[in-house]
Amino acid sequence: MDDRIWSSLEQSGFQFLGELKGHFLTPWHVACAVDSLGDTIPLVRQLKSGLLESEEKREAERLWQWLTDNADLLKRVQARLLAKSQRVEAFIRESPAASSVYDQQVSGSVELQKQVSKSRHRWLANGNGTPAEAEKAAKKFWGTVLVQIMLEASLPISNMKADTEEQRASYALRALGSRRSKTLRNRARTWKKAREWMLRVKNRPFPKDVGDVVDYMTFLEQDVGTKSCISDFMAALSVLEDAGQVPTNQQLCKNRLVVASSQSFGAEVLEGKTAKTQAPPLTVAMLLSLEMYDVSSSNPKYARFLAWTCLVTVWACMRISDLQGVDVSRILLFSSGLKGFLVRTKTTGPDKKVLEVPFFIRRDANLTGHDWLSKGYDLLRSFGQLERRFLVWQASDDMQEPLYKYARPEVISSYFRLIWQKLQTPFRKVGENKWKLAGGTCLVGGAPGYDEEELFSQLAGWLEQRGTGLPPEPPEIVLRSQNTAAASSSSGDSSSTDVGEAE
């Protein structure tokens, strides 16, 4: 069809057909480049320079007349080109990942390749991204690990009809449901130990019958003995059999003997073990010092925001991981207090029964009289990027500015410990209402200027001054200092104790 249209242009007397073909692939491309008679004159001038104005006008009129006469044929050419383009998959160039660039740079050096751990390599490959992207990447990684376990164990899902192995693996990933990345990670790590035992003792990677499961739980109770080892194993087995499409009546995790044995072994491993305890709460002195740290403009700006975040965690009764489920755009400060919403936590979210949970902190929830809520709220607004669903960024080395990258909960915990180490001891003189900080006196044990070795050395020096002999061991220091103070207080001789020196 293209040749027929080109030949009609040649028959019309147009003199520059060869030059036109050199610039345009098809007649339809010529039609796309020309919208009117006025557009054909510059086109002819580009095809052949040095023509007279009358010649340019004559050739331009011939070209325009040819386009007008063959409008229907050109539409057919356009339809053919569009149909052909729909059958060709367009190539979309993706931006290279940092890990790919790194691999290319150090591929020739074994020593350089040792410098990056597997977790760091995955972090570079996935990018910093948003919390949703980080969760999606982690979920895909640990889901793939569990899929490999299911395929190795030849569970029913491995026999599902699929065109390719990639498609079968995709089905298995979907079978894991809405479980989050941490759940998949814990199940994969638990099953790694079970798999090693199964291969070593049973010579197979997956339990075949009830006896295999009971034997492994016996091993866990006798040799491992941790409080959660039985429940962790049963949870991992349940996830693998459920996602592996094992029929309910054939699942080992729901067998009556296995369930009863797990309850029995679980009770036995708890005997003689300490009960589960929560982390100790922050002391009142720490809350006082945190409030004054937040409102002091001499402290690093982002460190003050982290102190504010720690106070919000205490007064709103949050987990540290809950901070990364706060919708920042919905945090509002009223005259009565601070209001916000948790939209993604361990127990809330789109895939949970509870979609979101509100929290509220009264304006008078303070111990020092400072309005720490408004100070921290102003810091939050000053950093910008309020349209996000997590509260804490990664911090710069000097704690002055955020790096505008998502911070994992364990990173936030380390930030809080750094802030606690900088807290100073609060004090208030009798008759005064204003709290102050004792400069140079750190509040938290283990911080610079206040650790166990320094405390014991001070007590040892005090006992030496009391004429008790050589410096004893730390337990003896405490015992003897207590006995000396108790004896002095009972006898009423306060001048012989010098308690102030011990402090």
Q: pLDDT-based confidence at 78, cuts 50/70/90?
A: low
What would the pLDDT profile of 461-476 be if each residue is shown by its tens digit? 655 665 555 455 555 5
Distance CA 61, CA 58 (A): 5
Is the residue at 279 inside a domain? no
**Which of 156-165, 212-221, 336-345 shows the lowest mean pLDDT across its residues?**
156-165
pLDDT for res 373: 92
Can you tell me whether residue 427 is helix, strand or coil?
Answer: strand
Q: What's the average model confidence in pLDDT over 478-492?
A: 57
pLDDT for res 313: 92
Q: Based on the domain organization, do 181 and 299 belong to the same domain?
A: no
pLDDT for res 97: 62
pLDDT for res 171: 75
What would the pLDDT profile of 388-400 be if each residue is shown by its tens digit? 888 998 888 888 8
Domain count of the fold of the chain: 4
Q: How many residues does the chain have?
A: 503
pLDDT for res 502: 34
Is the residue at 319 inside a domain? yes
Q: Based on the domain organization, do 337 and 416 belong to the same domain?
A: yes
Q: Based on the domain organization, do 64 and 206 belong to the same domain?
A: no
Contact 99/125 with Cβ under 8 angstroms?
yes
What would the pLDDT profile of 362-392 be if each residue is shown by its tens digit? 988 888 888 899 999 999 999 888 888 889 9
Give the Å distances, CA to CA, from 203 to 133, 147, 206, 208: 39, 20, 9, 11
Residue 489 contacts by C-beta under 8 Å, 6 or more apart in sequence? 497
Helix-strand-coil split of the chain, %, nearest 5: 60, 10, 35
pLDDT for res 139: 83
pLDDT for res 291: 92
Distance CA 205, CA 150 (A): 10
Give the Å distances, CA to CA, from 140 to 93, 112, 170: 23, 28, 10
pLDDT for res 116: 54
Q: pLDDT-based confidence at 349, cuts 50/70/90?
A: confident
Is the residue at 62 inside a domain? yes
Q: Based on the domain organization, do 387 and 345 belong to the same domain?
A: yes
Is the residue at 177 inside a domain? yes
State the Cα torsion 402-407-413-414 to the nearest 10°: -60
Q: Based on the domain organization, do 132 and 253 belong to the same domain?
A: yes
Distance CA 169, CA 174 (A): 9
Q: Based on the domain organization, do 41 and 185 belong to the same domain?
A: no
Q: Based on the domain organization, do 289 and 427 belong to the same domain?
A: yes
pLDDT for res 330: 92
Distance CA 326, CA 391 (A): 6
**Which of 94-108, 156-170, 193-207, 488-502 shows the lowest mean pLDDT across its residues?**
488-502
Q: What's the average model confidence in pLDDT over 117-138?
A: 63
> Residue 288: is its pLDDT beyond 70?
yes
Q: Which two tokens stand for residue 384?
A: 């910008």
Is the residue at 445 inside a domain? no
CA-wise closest residue to 423 among 311, 320, 499? 311
Q: Based on the domain organization, do 244 and 316 belong to the same domain?
A: no
Give the domain-ending residue among 237, 270, 303: 270
Q: Based on the domain organization, do 431 and 461 belong to the same domain?
A: no
Distance CA 339, CA 385 (A): 19
Q: What's the average model confidence in pLDDT over 235-249?
A: 89
pTM, to two decimals? 0.46
Contact 142/135 with Cβ under 8 angstroms?
no
Q: Based on the domain organization, do 404 and 373 belong to the same domain?
A: yes
Which DSSP category does 277 fall into? -
Quote the domain boundaries for residue 327: 284-439
Contact 365/377 with Cβ under 8 angstroms?
no
What would the pLDDT profile of 418-439 be if each residue is shown by its tens digit? 888 888 888 888 877 788 888 7
pLDDT for res 122: 56
Q: Based on the domain organization, do 165 and 298 belong to the same domain?
A: no
CA-wise closest residue to 398 among 312, 320, 304? 304
Is the residue at 106 inside a domain? no
Give the domain-ending residue among 86, 119, 139: 86
pLDDT for res 451: 46
Is the residue at 57 inside a domain? yes
Q: What's the average model confidence in pLDDT over 464-492?
A: 55
